[in-house]
Amino acid sequence: AFNADVVPQAPEDPLFGLMAAYRKDTDSKKVDLGIGAYRDDNAKPWVLPVVKAADDLLRKDPDLNHEYLPIGGLADFNFASQKLILGKDSAAIQDKRVISLQTISGTGAVHLGSAFISRFYNPQSAEAKAIYCSSPTWANHNQIITNVHLPVKTYPYFSKETKGLDFDGMIKAIESAAEGSVILLHACAHNPTGVDPTRDQWTKIAHVMRQKRHFPFFDCAYQGFASGSLSTDAWAINYFVDQGFELMIAQSYAKNFGLYGERAGCFHFVAAPSANAQDEVARVGSQLAILQRSEISNPPAYGARIASMVLNDDKLFSQWEEDLRTMSGRIISMRKALKSKLDELETPGKWDHITEQIGMFSFTGLNEQQVGKLREKFHVYMTKNGRISMAGLNTKNVEYFAKALDSVVR
Ligand code: PLP
C-alpha cells in the first residue's frame, strides 16, 4: 500500500546526517562545527555544575516518583519560567494575563503555538493566516509550521554584503504583510546567522508591527546563553510586552541548562492589557490543554524538575548565572580568537562579523564549494550554508580551523 509514489524516500535531516558523517571520520584532526550544542574546551559535552547539583538533590528526595505530570506540566516550573522570561516584577504576570504550558523543549513550544494559530487564529483576511519567518531561519520552523497546515512566508533578514541584518528589507516586508499577520521573531542569538537587531531596530520593528496589528511569536532558545545576561537576552520580548502587544513565546531550556535531551521547555501566551484579559487567557489555556492532551498527554518530568529546582532557589539560581557566563564567555573568547588568527594570517575578506555576531552560531559567508573543501581536505564539518557552531571551536583547534579557512578562501 505504501509504494514509492505514495511514500517517497525522504532526504536525511541535513544536520543529523552531518553528525553521522563526522562520527565516521577517523582523522584525529577532525572538527565538528555542525551541531548546535555547547562543548567545553576539550570538545566534550558539558553538564552544567548547577544541573549536577540539582540532580544530586533531586535523587536524594525519598518522595520522588514517576507519576504523570498534569497536562500543562509542572506548575512551579511554569511559574518560574514566566518570571524568567518576563521578569520578576512583570505587570503581565501581576495582572494574571499569562498562561503557560510546559512543552517538549523549544520545538514543542513552537509547535504548540503554531497549532494554536492554525486552529484558532482568525485574522480579517485569509492572507494574514500565515506565519512569517526570517530568511533564513532555523530549518525546523518551516517543517513545524507546514505540519499544522499553515503557509510559511518569509521576510528578508541577512545581508550577504554586510553579513549583518538586512534591516530595510525586513521592515519593508513586515510593513507590506497583510494586516494581522503572525511574525515569528528570534528573541536573541538568531539561528543560523548570529545576527540580532539592535534595541533601536527592535523599537522600529515593534512600531511597524503595532501599526499593522501583526501578532508577534517569539522563539527564545538562547536566553542567557547569548550575552551571559538573562535580562539582556529577553530585552526584545519585554519591550514588546511593555508596549501592550498580545503575543506568544516559545522558551527552550536545551542550551541555557544543557538539558538538550531532556526536552524541557515552556510555551507562554500573553494577553494584551484589557478588562477581559483574565477571561481570555483562561479560554486560551483551556484550548491549549486540549491540543497538548491530544498530542503528548503530558510533558516529561525530569528536565523540568531540574530546571524548576534551580529557578526556584536563590543560591542555585546564582550558580546557574555563573554557568551561563562560563558558556557565553568561552564562546565570545572563541570568536575573538578566530578573528585574531584570521587577521594574523591576513586572510582575504572582511571578518568583523565573526565578533559582531552573537550566540552559538556564526554565518561565515563561506559558499557551498568552500564548505565542501573544508570537509574533504581538512575534516571540518559544518552546514552547507556556511554556518559554524562557535561551541565546536576551542583553544586546541581554533588555529587549525583558521588556517583551513584561510586556505579555502584563497
Ligand atoms: N528555536 C531555535 C531558533 C533553535 O535554534 C532551537 C534549537 O536549536 C530551537 C528552537 C529548539 O530546540 P529544542 O527543541 O531543543 O529546545
Q: Is 219 annotated as catalytic? A: yes
**Alpha carbon nearest to ligand 1 atom 7, residue:** 221
Residue 338: per-residue pLDDT = 97
Q: Is 40 annotated as catalytic? A: no
Whole-number Å distance, alpha carbon 221 to ligand 1 midpoint, is 5
35 pLDDT more than 90: no
What percent of the chain shows pLDDT beyond 70? 100
Q: Judging by DSSP bridges, how do beta strands 158-159 and 164-165 pair with one another?
A: antiparallel
Residue 12: per-residue pLDDT = 84
17 pLDDT more than 90: no
Is residue 381 helix, strand or coil?
A: strand
Whole-number Å distance, alpha carbon 343 to ligand 1 midpoint, is 32
Residue 366: per-residue pLDDT = 95
Mean pLDDT of 151-164: 96
Mean pLDDT of 349-367: 94
pTM: 0.96
Residue of 219, 233, 323, 351 with catalytic role: 219
Mean pLDDT over each residue of the chain, to the nearest integer: 96
Mean pLDDT of 342-354: 96
Contacts of range 287-296, beta carbons closer than 8 Å, 24 or more positions apart:
287/116, 287/119, 287/120, 288/72, 288/99, 288/101, 288/112, 288/116, 289/71, 289/72, 289/101, 291/112, 291/115, 291/116, 291/119, 292/71, 292/72, 292/101, 292/103, 292/112, 293/71, 295/115, 296/104, 296/108
Q: Is 138 annotated as catalytic? A: yes
74 pLDDT more than 90: yes
Ligand 1 pocket, Cβ-based, cut-off 6 angstroms: 36, 105-107, 110, 138, 186, 191, 219, 221, 252, 254, 260, 265
Confidence class for position 13, pLDDT limits 50, 70, 90: confident
pLDDT digits (tens, 9 = 90+) for 176-222: 999 999 999 999 999 999 999 999 999 999 999 999 999 999 999 99
pLDDT digits (tens, 9 = 90+) for 220-237: 999 999 999 999 999 999
137 CA: nearest ligand 1 atom: 3
47 pLDDT more than 90: yes
Whole-number Å distance, alpha carbon 255 to ligand 1 midpoint, is 8
108 CA: nearest ligand 1 atom: 14
14 compared with 25, residue with greater pLDDT: 25
Mean pLDDT of 113-123: 97
260 CA: nearest ligand 1 atom: 15
ipTM, interface predicted TM-score of the complex? 0.99
Q: Which residue of 15, 252, 259, 263 sits with most ligand 1 atoms within 8 Å of its CB, as the best mutation to test the pocket? A: 252
What percent of the chain shows pLDDT beyond 90? 97
Q: Which residue of 142, 191, 262 sits with most ligand 1 atoms within 8 Å of its CB, as the best mutation to test the pocket? A: 191
Residue 14: per-residue pLDDT = 82
58 pLDDT more than 90: yes
219 CA: nearest ligand 1 atom: 1
Residue 384: per-residue pLDDT = 92
Confidence class for position 144, pLDDT limits 50, 70, 90: very high
Distance between CA 220 and CA 85 in Å, rounded? 9
Residue 341: per-residue pLDDT = 97
Q: Which residue of 140, 255, 266 sits with most ligand 1 atoms within 8 Å of its CB, as the best mutation to test the pocket? A: 140
**Which residue reads 528578508 in cell numbers?**
156
Supply the angle between the helices 167-176 and 199-211 in degrees, to the nearest 10: 10
Residue of 30, 46, 129, 138 with catalytic role: 138
Length of the chain: 410
Mean pLDDT of 59-76: 96
36 pLDDT more than 90: no
Nearest to 358 by CA among 200, 191, 185, 156: 191
Amino acid letter, 59:
R
Mean pLDDT of 29-38: 93
124 compared with 251, residue with greater pLDDT: 251
Is residue 327 helix, strand or coil?
A: helix
